[in-house]
Amino acid sequence: MTTDAAAPAQEIGRDADALVTLHFRVAAAFLALGVIAGLVVAVELTAPDFLNSGPLSFGRLYPVFTGALLFGWVTIGLMGAIYYLLPRLTGSPLLEVPLARVSLLLVAGGTLVGLVAVAGGANQGLPTFEFPFYADMALIVGYAGVTRVVSKSATAHREPQVYISVWFFVASVWWLLFSYIVGSVAWFKGADLEVANRFAENGLFLLWVVPAGVGILFYLIPRLSGAPLYSSRLAVVGFWAMAGSFAWVGSHNFTFGPAADWLETINVVFAIALLVPIMAIVANLLLSIDWRAAAGSAPMRYALAALAFFTLVAVQILALAFRASSTVVAFTSWTEATFVIAVLGVGTLSLLALVTSLRSGDSKPLLLAGPGLVLLIGTLWLGGLLTGFTWTAGPRSQDFVNFGEGFVNTTAQLAGFDAARWIAWALIAAGLLWSAARTLMARAWTFAPVEPASESAVEPEPGVLAPDRIAFASVLVIGVAFLTTVLFPALDSSDEDPSLLAVSTRDYDAFAEGVLAPQAAELFAALGLDAAVVAEGREVYISEGCIYCHSQQVRANVGDVGLGAVTQRSDITLTSPALLGRIRLGPDLSHAGSREPTDDIAWVTSHLVDPREGRRWSSMPSYDYLTGEELDALAQYIVSLQ
């Protein structure tokens, strides 16, 4: 890498160094918060009433746990990592540092405000995007600032060659901004909103966290080995293959959902295609390692662990995309592994690899967090398989029912897995809290100066595209994927006439003031329910985070036999959000009011207060902290689900 007289090597990046350490410390604070919340959540799975009261209840604390780690720890940490690496890779100082500081304030402040709001019951019913509007706006403006800083700094590079890490960094910040806008703004309703939500969630995991983490690995692994990258051309293949496949698998966990069937085909095709970038990137990085030179390197251990989790992305996505395997693993604990692999695996470990290299630290925390992550993935996958095979095998028995006592009996066998998950989280918490404490208390950071080209261990072959063209191409790729998998299907259904739809209690909240209001009111009255109270109960259902344990979607497969009529697109056309859910820690509630005993308001109310009365295996927390009016409203809403 070359420099000029106006920017001596030792000065390049100096303006950003204080900004980088600030990012790492703020991120570490969110890491501590997220890990502690995750540990409490894990305990509540085995002891449902542990600390169970309002803000600490499972349904509210779960999005706090995921939000703190995704938007607080990993996102802010990756921002700091990119700010550190860009000057070292481009030979140019980080530009617009004041804007970067303001962006950090907006992102950290918006995340903190959002977490407090969610804990206070301001859930939106949209997994991953639970923050209220004002927090979302702060994050969007903050991410826009980050995107400008990164893009402008990369475009102003003094190096004649653009190293592959810069490609990943520039593309990933644009994908972050695009994905968050799609996920946080309620553009759609019904099934279309669910598709958009999953597209955006996939964008955060696979187009922001994973590519940014891979960009760090492309910098660190050759440098720690003291050897050049094995092949820049193979790296370029990996980048474009990732951009071309990862953006199209957004609905991989929506198989058998009430959306267009051809979306499933797209997901399967591109789920297979993502094997190409994963194999290209992993092979390239492994072949770049001088194992003797890297022996004993603590940062290299973190980097290799991150690379190992990167390979698991293929297993996770393929299992959820294929119809045969999705029949088994969808709605089970398997679905939670996507977050763990992307955020705690690739994102966290690649960040810790860089932070450890800057602090000249050791890898002792990895000795705790590493086995904990492996154990956690194992329990999520094996527990998911056991649950799924139980559901699919159950219908062969004449007395099988996948709800009520039948569902509780199938979940009782997971007690051992829940205990193992708690142990896994204890190990992860110990390792990551140790890392967070080290980062917060670190006083000496070893920031490497920019090296001349002749001394650089990561000097690439000539780049193909300038950073501004990479940014344009990246936005084009995700834009086309959005148009094809989200917008066009939504436009295709936009001419549906609500007056021609069947009246459904699921849709009352959306058309209470529309053409179907009289029919809906009659329907609720016939059920002995108060329409206004049902609407209030739905808000309680959302605010308490019930979607993190219950689904409202019956799939057209053997695993859902006995749950009632299959959920159709027309059932939720006007509903926003549709509350289809992602996991069944508790039974599906699509037709709860059509079966015993959940057709009885008094029984449902009693069950909400004391879930283990007569159902000792139930993992549902008690909602005795709700007011009498809130309990009655929630019970009426559940009974209204016909």
Categorize the per-residue pLDDT at 505 as very low, low, confident or very high, splitting at 50, 70 and 90: low
Q: Are 476 and 494 in contact (CB under 8 A)?
A: no
pLDDT of residue 155: 87
Helix axis angle for 190-204 and 467-482, nearest 10°, is 150
pLDDT at 396: 55
Q: Tokens standing for 625?
A: 């902290």
Q: Return the pLDDT at 463.
A: 45
Beta strands in 501-588 (DSSP E): none
pLDDT for 526 beyond 50 = yes
Residue with the larger pLDDT of the pair 408 and 5? 408
Give yes or no for a contact between 594 and 564, defined as CB atoms under 8 angstroms apart.
yes
Lowest average pLDDT, out of 72-76, 390-394, 605-609, 638-642, goes to 390-394
Cα–chain center distance at 7: 40
How would residue 6 be classed by pLDDT, with cut points 50, 70 and 90? very low
Give the type of residue at 569: R
- pLDDT for the residue numbered 392: 81
List Cβ neighbours of 584 (8 Å cut-off, separation of 6 or more): 331, 332, 407, 549, 550, 551
Any long-range contacts for 127-132 (C-beta under 8 Å, 24+ apart)? 127/63, 127/197, 127/201, 127/547, 127/548, 127/582, 128/66, 128/67, 128/70, 128/183, 128/197, 128/200, 128/201, 128/204, 129/180, 129/183, 129/184, 129/197, 129/200, 129/201, 130/63, 130/67, 131/67, 131/184
Query: What CA–CA distance (Å, rounded) separates 115 from 63?
Result: 8
Query: What mean pLDDT comes out for the span 421-427?
Result: 91
Phi, psi of 38 (to 5 degrees): -65, -35
Q: Encode pLDDT of 65-114 as tens digits.
A: 999 999 999 999 999 999 999 988 888 888 899 999 999 999 999 999 99
**pLDDT class of 315 with cuts at 50, 70, 90:** very high
pLDDT tens digits for 229-274?
999 899 999 999 999 999 999 887 788 888 888 888 898 999 999 9
Q: What pLDDT was estimated at residue 444?
A: 63
Residue 489 predicted with pLDDT over 60: yes
Q: What is the pLDDT of residue 175?
A: 97
Q: What is the pLDDT of residue 518?
A: 65
How much is the pTM? 0.92
**Residue of 397 and 42 predicted with greater confidence:** 42
